[in-house]
Structure 1
Amino acid sequence: MTTAAADEFEAHRARLFGLAYRMLGSAAEAEDTVQDAYLRFSGADRAGIEHPAAWLAKTVTRLCLNRLTSARARREQYVGAWLPEPVITSDGTLGPVESAEQRDAVSLAMLVLLERLTPTERAVYVLREAFAYGHREIAEALDLSEANCRQLYRRAERRLAVEQGRFEASPQRREELVTSFLSAARDGDLAGLEKLLAADVTWWSDGGGKVTAARRPIEGREKVVRFLVGAFQGFAAGMTFTVAEINGAPGLLAWAGDTLASAVAFECRDGEVTDVRAVLNPDKLDFVRRQLGRG
């Protein structure tokens, strides 16, 4: 590949990574997919590529569709709850996350919802919602008819049944909730935790069978409070915590010395914490470690 072609690819790399990550829910697989696209781009006849951005987006999308088919089978065998790999978004890795809609689009909650879709529905929805592709552009990328793409998009919307207003609170208010949560959990402040947690709060832990973690969701304020008090009296007692922007919203990084032990994402609504997703699987924390220069 010529230097000019390599530079052209690099100009698109961040956007391609954002597309692949939203499609796959895995930062590691997204990186591999982008690298595969790079190799294909380097070996392609440049004269036959009229619009490199469109060519690359189509290539990455189709590579992701291939990966999603095998990923479904692997996730059916996954030990415990499966969660997407977290990403620190304050450095622009997934593009701007300034509006509520942008934050929502990269949240762990949304990535979990996207698992409800077929691979093709997911591709149509991501290209439309996250990258503002028109249905004609999507049809060209997926080699489908425009009418079929519209139908797939409507079906995806129905299957997601996305609730509105997940991020109605300001980033400052959400960070206050996270820091108050951490303080109450550390102090074993049951009353403080109960005030912060919604009655139907749910806690998910993804250990992937690699580390100890709850294999089923913990549901309800009382059960989550008991779990947190026990956790902070036990294995989390010696850990340090830092606040970080995880997938578009303030979250917590838990450290055992210099080792990143967990990334915790919070979903808040009406001034309460409604969902907490804790990624403990060390394989899924590798990308965040590298983002922080500790990989």
Structure 2
Amino acid sequence: MNDNDWLAERFEAHRGHLRAVAYRMLGSLSEAEDAVQEAWLKLSRSDTGAVENLGGWLTTVVGRVCLDMLRARKAKREDMLDERVPDPIISEEDGLDPEHEALLADSVGLALLVVLETLNPAERLAFVLHDMFAVPFEEIAPIVDRTPAAAMQLASRARRRVRGSAPVPDPDLARQRTAVDAFLAAARDGDFDALVAVLDPDVVLRVQQPGGSRLLRGASPVANSAIMFNRAADVSASVRALVNGAAGVVAFQDGKPVSVLGFTVAGGRIVEIDIIADPDRLDRLDLVVSDPGSPG
């Protein structure tokens, strides 16, 4: 085995961890892959002979790459949406595959990712690296050009935002599924009262569609929208799935996915619904579920 093969083997041992870091930083699976690949390029060009903790070194490299990507995204205003729906991780309802399980090791729901999108890049990096991956502030500080104390303040501000905004989902998947099934049945039947009963009064609906997004708040507007959406939807099958580890649905038309619905259920009621119905974004997702009515 030559030196490059040995280095590649060591890098592969850390790839899953690095993807998890990048996904939390960017909320995009494709951009996370790009960040990990950039880390490999930096590793292959660097003299790491004196590096004692390669995993830690790679984590900070990925963090720096993601920070630059977030800053570029903001500077170029590539993301013009007030409420961007992050890329969901979709799995079969009977359980996560090992790769998805590694990405969701800390139960990173869509609701949390949405809140992370509201943080500035430095706050997001400090919170993700420290609170989710236990990176010391002494190692975070140089990445954000701050002192360790200032990096700690960044994470603290982010933590307060997360605790104040991100709903904590019910841990019982069966309870989540009960609420989601009731919502879907009520939408299918056009039963406004039944929809309102299963929705939190302050429920938030985000829909990512071609060319833009839509945000609704409140049980009545969301219930009306669900009824209209169901009437207009061109769907041949809806398949239960796990969306970021929580109860969700993938809708198909003629064997092709047309939407992914992720739900956040807290206290037995739906508090957030995130829908991606943009074909371009759906094409980029790693959809492991399929239309049961399609051949093969």
Which TM bucket (shorter chain)?
0.7 to 0.9
1:194 aligns with 2:196: yes
- Residue of structure 2 equivalent to 1:263: 260
Moved more, 281-290 or 65-74: 281-290
Provide the C-alpha distance between the structure 2 equivalents of 1:257 and 1:80, rounded to a whole number of angstroms. 32
Q: Give the counterpart of 1:180 among 167, 179, 182.
A: 182
Superposed CA offset, 1:108-158 (max 9, x none)? 211111122221111110011211223234336556422122121122223
Counterpart secondary structure, 1:57: helix
Counterpart secondary structure, 2:14: helix
For residue 26 of structure 1, report the CA deviation from its aligned partner: 0.8
Answer whether contact 2:176 2:246 (CA < 8 A) is retained.
yes
Provide the C-alpha distance between the structure 2 equivalents of 1:165 and 1:110, rounded to a whole number of angstroms. 8
Superposed CA offset, 1:62-110 (max 9, x none)? 1111100121245565367421111126224252757xxx32xx11211
Superposed CA offset, 1:248-286 (max 9, x none)? 311111112221111111112221111111112223223
1:62 aligns with 2:68: no
Q: Which consecutive residues of structure 1, in runs of 5 or more, have no partner in the other structure?
A: none
Provide the C-alpha distance between the structure 2 equivalents of 1:96 and 1:272, rounded to a whole number of angstroms. 26
- Residue of structure 1 equivalent to 2:206: 204
Instruction: Decide whether aligned partners of structure 1 residues 161 and 178 sit closer, same or farther in structure 2, where only a CA change above 3 A counts.
Output: same
Counterpart secondary structure, 2:126: helix
Provide the C-alpha distance between the structure 2 equivalents of 1:94 and 1:144, rounded to a whole number of angstroms. 33
Counterpart secondary structure, 1:82: coil
For residue 165 of structure 1, report the CA deviation from its aligned partner: 6.1
Instruction: Decide whether aligned partners of structure 1 residues 124 and 77 sit closer, same or farther in structure 2, where only a CA change above 3 A counts.
Output: closer
Q: Return the letter of the residue paired with 2:243.
A: I
For residue 163 of structure 1, report the CA deviation from its aligned partner: 5.0
Counterpart secondary structure, 1:162: helix
TM-score, normalised with respect to structure 2: 0.86
Answer whether contact 1:82 1:206 (CA < 8 A) is retained.
yes
Q: Identity percentage over the alignment?
A: 34
Poorly superposed stretches of 4+, deviation over 6 Å: none
1:170 aligns with 2:178: no
1:225 aligns with 2:227: no
1:283 aligns with 2:285: no
- Residue of structure 2 equivalent to 1:151: 153
Provide the C-alpha distance between the structure 2 equivalents of 1:80 and 1:122, rounded to a whole number of angstroms. 17
**How many residues are aligned here?**
284
